[in-house]
Amino acid sequence: MNNKKIAVKTLPLLLGICFLGLWELIIPALHIPVWILPPPSLIGSELFSSQSLIFSNLIPTVTEACIGLFIAVILALGLAILLEWSKLLKDILYPYLVLTQTIPTIALAPLLAIWFGFGMLSKIIVIVLVCFFPITVSTLDGFGQTSENSIKFLKTINATPFQIFRYCKLPYCLPSFFAGLRIAVTYSVLGAVISEWFGGNMGLGILLVRSAKSYLTARVFAIVVVIALLTLVAVWLVDCISAKLLPWNSKKISS
């Protein structure tokens, strides 16, 4: 069993190393110009040489993503609880909640920049909008999975609606909430980068656009690597929090 677990964790790493090695060999073999497709060695070199520039632009992106995600979590939880308590409000507002996701982020970002300027506010609004939906829907789905037998038992001992919510519905919804949060953290980084494309002085998004316009392809790939690593770290943090608060759920997933 231990060997199987080691193999499961090792095989993806070996596959990645083989892919990078093949990539490194194909570039000179096919005489592909490095400004079109740089080899991994050049991307790694650019990542090291531009680390101070990338890090200085990383801070604004992380700040925007964290603030936007925090606001999205508060609003999403508040709305999910409100819709769970009122079926009438759920029937009225849920279609509009879905409607917010029909507008492409890349089309909404420039409008928000026009309305709210090129500062942090417009970027945070974009992040809130893209993170809000998965958390709300997942939390509502978690409320819907509450055991009817548990609710009936609490009613037989004269539990109040608040006690039923506190001791039954809320614990049942937490795994679904964290599932939505895992999706939302990836959207928060993506939303921050996209919103930076349309204005601002600092951030990975604006650095990405400037590097692409200057044909600094290796730097573009280096920034993409940083964005991917940032997203992986964000998902890992959510998984760590989930494992701490819901150890039974994390064991069930890992098995």
pLDDT given for residue 15 in this prediction:
83
As a whole number of angstroms, the distance between CA 226 and CA 223 comes to: 5
Residue 29 lies in a domain: no
E-strand ranges in the chain read none
Residue 34 lies in a domain: no
pLDDT of residue 253: 47
Task: State the Cα torsion 234-238-244-249 to the nearest 10°.
Answer: -140
**Domains contained in the chain, number:** 1
Q: What is the pLDDT of residue 184?
A: 92
How many of the other CB atoms lie within 10 Å of CB of 63? 16
CATH of the domain at 110: 1.10.3720.10
Rounded to 5 degrees, what angle do the CA atoms 203, 209, 210 make?
90
CA distances from 38 to 24, 25, 42, 217 (A): 9, 11, 6, 7
Residue type, 80: A
Domain-located, residue 25? no
Q: Is residue 69 part of a domain?
A: yes
Cα angle: 109, vertex 56, 65; to 5 degrees: 40
From the first residue on, what is the mean pLDDT of each consecutive set of 10 residues in the chain (255 residues)? 64 83 87 86 88 90 93 91 83 80 75 80 88 89 77 75 77 86 91 83 88 89 92 92 75 48
Q: Which domain, by its residues, includes 199? A: 40-254
In a domain, 84, yes or no: yes
Q: The whole model's pTM is what?
A: 0.83
Confirm whether 115 is domain-assigned: yes
pLDDT digit string, tens, across residues 114-167 = 888 778 888 898 899 888 888 998 888 888 777 777 777 777 777 777 777 777
Q: How many CB atoms lie within 10 A of CB 43?
A: 22
